[in-house]
Amino acid sequence: MSSPAISIPHDAGHADGHDDHHGHVHLQYQPGLPLSRGKLIMWLFLSTEIMFFAALLGSYIVLRFGAAIWPKPHHVHLSEPIGAFNTFVLICSSVTVVLALEAAKSNKTGLAKIWMVATFVLGGLFLGVKAYEYQAKFSHGIYPVAPHSRIYERPDLYYGSAVRARLGESAIIERLKEIDEMPAESLSAEQRAARTSLQQIRTMLGDPNQQAFEMAVVADQIAPLPAEGAGGHGGGHAHGINDAFPELQLPIVIPGGNMWASTYFLLTGFHAVHVVVGLIVFAVLLGYTLGPKNAGMIENAGLYWHFVDLVWIFLFPLLYLF
């Protein structure tokens, strides 16, 4: 690798006067690939990342289209406008990192630093929005794994017994007593309705001749599936017992919801980890003078960041709009 001569020492030819003979041997250093080693390593890394995210996204697509049923985005409280906003944030951050690189190349170090700070802030904003979205899922009992996840696939008797088991916990029994004894004027209209349906579902669950449809009614009283176009988060969607009395944390039914939660949190989680790594890199870069000398570093960090943007470009429609 190191054997090709960088230049032929001319004094070797001078010794016996064969200057012209050696003169036409122009040996020049040629790197294996016409790019710096840092950039080569970054591209090699990115090609492994292509396969990593392709495997994740591919598994998601195959799981999703092979599933008997898959929840609609509004069933799992996904908000399309928030997803679109986050897409916009990442696109902006890709632009700012490119502008930082251009500024650094033309030796405008101050400007480069401003763009770099803007990139960092936009990346942080993306993570903040993501955290808000995760919180919205958690508050509805949507978690990827069992101890916290309250998702049941079907409104069947297993679901009914899970609700009954939850209502039978001593802390919940205490809380139900308090709710029953609350004066009506201290409750909101929504809470009064939820209190009535709580009493209703307790009698339904106690009935030994329960039928599947009654379990669907129980599930609907606890956490109704929001209608399409209801707008996902917060105020827009239909309210159930879990919304009126969040502390009860009753089991919910989302057909296909468990597989959805696993894939959603895995995909967005790995993407968020990549965003965090990018932010760390940018924070380190901010400690340097962002001039032409360090343009290579900015370029490599930028390549990584654009790739993170690229992944989100596919994640957004696949998760929010499909």
Partner 1 sequence: MSDHAAPHDSAGHEEHSHGGLGKYIAVFAALCFLTTMSFFTYSEAWPWRDQPQVGWAFMMAVSCTKAMLVVLFFMHVWWEANWKYVLTIPAAMMALFLVIMLIPDIGMRNRMVSQERALHMARPADLLLLEEAGTAGPAAEAH
Q: What mask of x and - would describe binding to partner 1 in positions 45 to 74, judged by CB under 8 A? A: -xxx-xx--xx--xx-xxx-xxxxx-----
Task: Name the residue nearer to partner 1 (CB basis): 145 or 173.
Answer: 145
Containing 252, the helix (H) or strand (E) segment is strand 252-253
- β-bridge mates for residue 252, sequence order: 151
Q: What mask of x and - would describe binding to partner 1 in positions 153 to 172, judged by CB under 8 A? A: xxx--x--------------
Do 90 and 309 meet the contact criterion of CB atoms below 8 Å apart? yes
Q: For residue 253, give the DSSP letter.
A: E
Q: What mask of x and - would describe binding to partner 1 in positions 295 to 314, judged by CB under 8 A? A: xx--x--xx--xx-xx--xx
Site residues for partner 1, 15-44, by CB under 8 A, read 29, 31, 33-37, 43-44
Site residues for partner 1, 250-289, by CB under 8 A, read 253, 255-256
What's phi and psi for 152, nearest 5 deg? -110, 145
Q: What mask of x and - would describe binding to partner 1 in positions 88 to 127, judged by CB under 8 A? A: x--xx-xx--xx--x--x----------------------
Site residues for partner 1, 203-222, by CB under 8 A, read 212-213, 216-217, 219-221
Task: Name the residue nearer to partner 1 (CB basis): 157 or 272.
Answer: 157
| DSSP assignment of 126-172 | HHHHHHHHHHHHHHTT--SSTTT--EESSSSHHHHHHHHHHHTSHHH
Distance CA 135, CA 41 (A): 37
Vertex 318, ends 316 and 319: CA angle to 5°? 70
Kindly state the smallest distance separating residue 236's Cβ from partner 1, in Å: 14
